[in-house]
Amino acid sequence: MKVVILCGGKGTRLQEATEGVIPKPMVEIGGHPILWHIMKLYAHFHVREFVLCLGHMGKIIKDFFLHYEVLNSDVTIQMGTPGEISYHRSHQDMDWKVTLADTGLETMTGARLARVRDYVGDTTFMLTYGDGVANIDIPCLLAFHRSHGKIATITGVEPISRFGRLTVKDRRVVAFEEKPIGDGGNRINGGFFVFEPEVFDYVSPDPSCTLEREPLERLSADGQLMMFDHHGFWACMDTYRDLLYLQKLWDEGNPPWRLWCD
């Protein structure tokens, strides 16, 4: 099964980290781009064929994967013989297949999806964003999708509060919880979609087509959109504060989204 990852946005609210020289999916957590963390999650569940929708600074993402083997393996280079390189101590990601597709600089999410249709094919596929991590059970997500027979499944999550939660009794703070998860109320779009190929009837290569607007609204109106309820960890790296939070979790040694073994 293939995973489409939307990697083309500008990440304007994360400029403190990107500094205008790297795209948002290449911002690092623990020395690895968040895009790598997302791909490692899927690969842990044996989903290892990726279609990356590139846009803003897409050449940097291409360069990362073009040099991935050299950067993650020991190598022997025969000087004077172009192309003669031997790789040693292979890394864990040898069986990944990555398609790098330029989908436009100013293209919205629905149009990016439409423009990679030929790479996806006529089969069930997954889609997510290039800035969100979670400890989601991918096989359970897929099983849920197959159980209902609709075109689309969206993962619903409880957002993490941006502010600490106070528990007060007689004006005395009896408990303080930093960045608590929501209280089980409204769910938000956490990404981690599963789609049938009929979803391409709902999107357009027109640059203004936004997946989260008319396509998902029409799917919902047609009774073709179902929600997979995820109660575990989920976080989106939308701001510099979000990045610091994820880096803190990584530095503590047991980040909730790292389901794979090193």
Q: Are 6 and 131 in contact (CB under 8 A)?
A: no
The mean of the pLDDT values for the chain is 90
pLDDT number for residue 74: 87
Residue 93 has pLDDT above 60, yes or no: yes
d(CA 212, CA 209): 9
- What's the pLDDT score for residue 17? 77
pLDDT average, residue stretch 6-17: 83
> What pLDDT is recorded for position 252?
95
pLDDT of residue 84: 82
CA distance 251 to 262: 15
Q: If you average pLDDT over residues 199-219, what whole number do you get?
A: 96
Domains of the chain plus CATH, in order, are 2-156+187-251 (3.90.550.10)
With 70 as the cut, is the pLDDT of residue 99 above it?
yes
The answer on pLDDT for 175 being more than 70 is: no
Report the Cα 5 to chain-centroid distance in Å. 6
- For the stretch 151-167, pLDDT in tens is 999 999 987 776 666 66
Helix (H, G, I), strand (E, B) or coil at 118: helix
Which tops the pLDDT comparison, 31 or 94?
31
| pLDDT of amino acid 148 | 95
User: Does the pLDDT at position 183 exceed 60?
Assistant: no
How close are the terminal C-alpha atoms of the chain, in Å?
Answer: 23
CA dist., res. 10 & res. 100, Å (int): 17
The runs of H, that is alpha helices, within the chain are 15-18, 34-44, 58-66, 68-71, 109-115, 117-120, 138-148, 214-221, 240-251
DSSP secondary structure string for all residues of 23-88 = -GGG-EETTEEHHHHHHHHHHHTT--EEEEEE-TTHHHHHHHHHTHHHHTSEEEE-TTSTT-EEEE
Whole-structure pTM value: 0.89
Share of the chain above pLDDT 90, in %: 71
Q: Collect all residues with Cβ–Cβ distance below 8 Å to 51 and sequence separation of at least 6.
A: 2, 3, 4, 5, 99, 101, 116, 119, 120
Q: Is the pLDDT of residue 182 over 70?
A: no
Strand-pair category, 132-134 with 85-88: unpaired
Average pLDDT over residues 85-112: 88
Question: So what's the pLDDT on residue 14?
Answer: 80
pLDDT for position 34: 97
Task: Please state the φ and ψ torsions of residue 22, each to the nearest 5 degrees.
Answer: -140, 150
Span 126-143, mean pLDDT?
97
SS3 label, residue 105: coil
pLDDT at 179 exceeding the cut of 70: no
- Look at residue 253 and give its three-state secondary structure: coil
- How far, in Å, CA of 141 to CA of 230, rounded? 9
Q: Which tens digit of pLDDT belongs to each residue from 49-90?
A: 999 999 999 999 999 999 888 888 888 888 887 668 888 866
